[in-house]
Amino acid sequence: MKVIETTLPSAMVIEPQVFGDSRGFFYESYNQAKFHEAGITGALVQSNVSRSAKGVLRGLHYQWPNPQGKLVSVLEGEVFDVAVDIRRGSPTFGRWEGVVLTAENHRHFWIPEGFAHGFCVLSEFATFAYQCTALYDPIADAGVRWNDPDIAVDWPISHPLLSGKDEKALLLKEVPQDRLPEYQR
Ligand SMILES: Cc1cn([C@H]2C[C@H](O)[C@@H](COP(=O)(O)OP(=O)(O)O[C@H]3O[C@@H](C)C(=O)[C@@H](O)[C@H]3O)O2)c(=O)[nH]c1=O
């Protein structure tokens, strides 16, 4: 597999080795030894799948306490996927990175613990799959507004379909400091 660094330390893109033949293809979506070597050492303890129509935007979500590292990919369609460093005290606080993930490019994006995450759907439908390093905790579930001007994600769509929760999400500057993840060197 190929590991591609991003502008945010520890957020990375992983391109698995894809074995194609007359039947179709095969790839390892997770291999503990190879991921450990790449610096992704947390145990993946929950797997999720969501499906969304074109124009849907889910995000920007995080969990605190009990932050989740997320290994995300697309099984059907195409999304623009975003990680935002919202760890208080981080040298890259407030900075984001975006990656196009498609069912064809097989790219995986590693969202480290303490980052907010979101995506918008560019194809008619997208099936999104991800594994997390911590279990879902509805009490700790939190979000930051998708179009927060202080983060200024350059989303490729302008009028997304949002959940009620995401429509009402706080701006980053409105989130109390103790509700933000901690930066750990
Ligand atoms: C995330 C999650 C949701 N749920 C339930 C709660 C709710 O009734 C329903 C839909 O939840 P949400 O609206 O939060 O789903 P969604 O907007 O898809 O939330 C997801 O968005 C992406 C961007 C992420 O990064 C994920 O970590 C997660 O926050 O599913 C679980 O039971 N377990 C889970 O792990």
Residue nearest (by alpha carbon) to ligand 1 atom 19: 58
Parallel, antiparallel, or unpaired for β 108-111 and 141-143? unpaired
Inform me whether the pLDDT recorded for 184 exceeds 90.
Answer: no
| Amino acid identity at 159 | H
Q: Does ipTM top 0.90?
A: yes
Ligand 1 midpoint to CA 144 (Å): 14
Ligand 1 midpoint to CA 119 (Å): 12
Please tell me if the CB atom of residue 61 comes closer than 6 angstroms to any atom of ligand 1.
yes
pTM of the model: 0.98
For the chain, the domain total comes to 1
Q: Is 29 inside any structural domain?
A: no
Q: Is 118 inside any structural domain?
A: yes
Phi, psi of 165 (to 5 degrees): -60, -45
Q: Which two tokens stand for residue 44?
A: 């993946």
Q: Is 28 inside any structural domain?
A: no
How do residues 130-169 score in pLDDT, each as one tens digit? Answer: 999 999 999 999 999 999 999 999 999 999 999 999 999 9
Q: Which ligand 1 atom sits closest to the C-alpha of 165?
A: 13
CATH of the domain at 130: 2.60.120.10
Parallel, antiparallel, or unpaired for β 78-85 and 96-102? antiparallel
Parallel, antiparallel, or unpaired for β 19-21 and 12-15? unpaired
